C-alpha cells in the first residue's frame, strides 16, 4: 500500500514537475525579479544597482505621462470594447440565421482577426497615409478635404481605435455567435407559443442567455485592449503624446530611456490594475453563471 502511494506521488511529481519548473522559470522568477528591480535604479545597460526605496513608485504616481497613458488606455479599452461588442453582437444576430453564402461571409469577416496586429498597423499606415493613402485619395476624388488620419493630433488616437475595431469586431462576433447558438431552440418555440414580441424575445431570452458568453468576450477583449501595443508602435511609435498607452509608455521607459527600475515600478502598478480589472470581470461571470445554475 505504502509503495503504491509512494509511486503515485512520484508519478504526480513527474507529471506536474516540468510544468511547475517552467512556471517558476518563466513566470514566478521574472515577477519576483521585476518587483525587486522596481525598488532599484537599475539601468538597461547594466552597471551596479542600488536601492532607491519607493522613489520609483512615487514617480509613477506623480508622473503626468503615466496619468495620461492611463487615461488614454482606459478610454481606448472602453471605446474599443463597447464598439466591438455592439457591432460584433449585431453581426452575430444577422449571421445566426442560415442563408446562402453564409460560410463565405463568415470566413471573410474573420480574416482581419487572423492577421498580425503589427502587419495590420503597417498596412493601415499605407491605407490612411495623408498623401497617397487610398482613403484620402477617395475622399479627394469625392471633393472632400481629407483629414490627416495619422498625423493630426485630433485624429491619430481615433484612427488606431478604428483599426482595432476593424480587427477585433469579428472576434466578438464569433463568441457572440457561439453564445446565441447555445440557446436551446425550444425556449424560442415556447416564446413563440406565448406570442412574445421580438423585442421581448430579445430582451428576455437572447440577451440574458448570451450574457455569460458575452461577459467572457468582454473580459478577453478588455484585457487584450488594455495591453494595446502593436498598433500604436506601428502607427505612431511609442513616444507620441496623443497615442501613448500604458504598454508603449513601458516600452519607452525601459527600452528607449533605459530606466529598468522605473519601468519595473510602472509594470507592477499596471499588473495590479489588470488583476483588479480581471477580478471584477471573473466575479461578474461567476455571479451570472451561478444565477444560471440556480435558475
Partner 1 sequence: MKSILWSVCALFALGLAACSGENPNQSGAPAASASKPSIKIWWFQWDPATGLQELGREFESETGIAVEVQQIPLASYQEKVFLEFGGSRTSFDIVIGDSQWIGRGASSGLYVELTDWLPTVVDLATIHPRAAKYLCEYPEGSGRWYAAPCETDAVGLAYRKDWFEDPAERSAFQARFGRELTVPATYEEFRQVAEFFQRPDAKRYGCAMPSDRNYDGLTMGVQNLLWAFGGKWKDEASNKVVGHLDTQGTVDAIEFFKTLMKLGPNGCERLDYGQVLESFTNGSTAMILNYFAFFPGIQAQFGDKVGFAVVPSHEGRRVASLGGQGLSVSAKIPPEQQEHAKRFIAWFLQRRVQERWITKPAGFTANSAILASPEFRAKTPYNAPFADSVDAMRDFWNVPAFNKLLAVTQRYVGMAVDGEMPTAEALKKLALEKERILKEEGLL
Applying CB under 8 A, which residues contact partner 1? 4, 7-8, 10-11, 14-15, 17-18, 44-47, 129-131, 136, 146, 148, 150-151, 153, 236-242, 252, 255-259
Cβ 136 to partner 1 shortest distance, Å = 7
CB closer to partner 1, 114 vs 134: 134
Percent of the chain as helix, strand, coil, to the nearest 5: 75, 0, 20
Cβ 68 to partner 1 shortest distance, Å = 10
Cβ 51 to partner 1 shortest distance, Å = 15
The per-residue b/e assignment along 159-192, b for 16 or more CB within 10 angstroms, e otherwise, is bbbbbbbebbbbbbbbbbbebbeebeeeeeeebe
The answer to whether the CB of 70 falls within 8 A of the CB of 274 is no
Cβ 81 to partner 1 shortest distance, Å = 26
Number of H helices, E strands in the chain: 14, 0
DSSP 8-state code for residue 115: S
- Three-state SS for 91? helix
Cβ 180 to partner 1 shortest distance, Å = 43
CB closer to partner 1, 10 vs 184: 10
CB closer to partner 1, 225 vs 253: 253
The answer to whether the CB of 213 falls within 8 A of the CB of 207 is no
Cβ 101 to partner 1 shortest distance, Å = 39
CB closer to partner 1, 46 vs 101: 46
What's the angle, vertex CA 87, arms to CA 81 and CA 90, rounded to 5? Answer: 130
CB closer to partner 1, 68 vs 112: 68
CA 85 to chain centre: 12
CB closer to partner 1, 29 vs 202: 29
Amino acid at each position: 500500500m505504502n509503495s503504491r502511494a509512494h509511486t503515485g506521488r512520484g508519478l504526480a511529481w513527474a507529471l506536474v514537475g516540468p510544468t511547475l519548473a517552467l512556471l517558476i522559470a518563466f513566470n514566478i522568477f521574472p515577477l519576483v525579479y521585476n518587483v525587486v528591480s522596481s525598488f532599484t535604479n537599475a539601468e538597461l545597460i547594466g552597471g551596479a544597482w542600488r536601492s532607491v526605496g519607493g522613489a520609483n513608485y512615487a514617480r509613477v504616481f506623480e508622473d503626468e505621462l503615466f496619468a495620461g497613458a492611463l487615461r488614454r488606455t482606459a478610454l481606448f479599452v472602453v471605446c474599443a470594447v463597447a464598439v466591438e461588442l455592439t457591432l460584433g453582437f449585431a453581426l452575430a444576430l444577422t449571421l445566426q440565421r442560415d442563408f446562402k453564402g453564409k460560410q463565405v461571409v463568415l470566413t471573410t469577416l474573420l480574416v482581419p482577426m487572423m492577421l498580425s496586429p503589427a502587419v495590420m498597423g503597417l498596412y493601415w499606415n499605407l491605407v490612411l497615409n495623408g498623401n497617397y493613402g487610398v482613403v484620402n485619395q477617395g475622399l479627394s476624388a469625392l471633393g472632400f478635404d481629407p483629414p490627416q488620419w495619422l498625423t493630426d493630433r485630433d485624429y491619430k488616437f481615433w484612427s488606431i481605435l478604428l483599426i482595432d475595431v476593424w480587427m477585433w469586431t469579428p472576434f466578438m462576433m464569433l463568441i457572440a455567435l457561439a453564445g446565441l447558438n447555445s440557446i436551446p431552440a425550444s425556449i424560442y418555440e415556447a416564446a413563440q407559443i406565448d406570442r412574445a414580441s421580438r423585442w421581448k424575445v430579445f430582451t428576455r431570452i437572447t440577451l440574458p442567455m448570451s450574457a455569460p458568453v458575452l461577459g467572457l468576450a468582454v473580459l478577453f477583449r478588455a484585457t487584450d485592449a488594455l495591453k494595446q501595443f502593436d498598433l500604436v508602435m506601428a502607427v505612431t511609435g511609442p513616444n507620441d503624446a496623443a497615442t501613448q498607452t500604458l504598454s508603449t509608455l513601458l516600452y519607452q521607459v525601459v527600452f528607449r530611456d533605459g530606466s529598468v527600475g522605473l519601468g519595473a515600478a510602472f509594470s507592477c502598478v499596471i499588473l495590479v490594475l489588470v488583476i483588479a480589472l480581471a477580478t471584477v470581470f471573473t466575479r461578474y461571470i461567476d455571479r451570472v453563471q451561478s444565477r444560471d445554475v440556480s435558475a
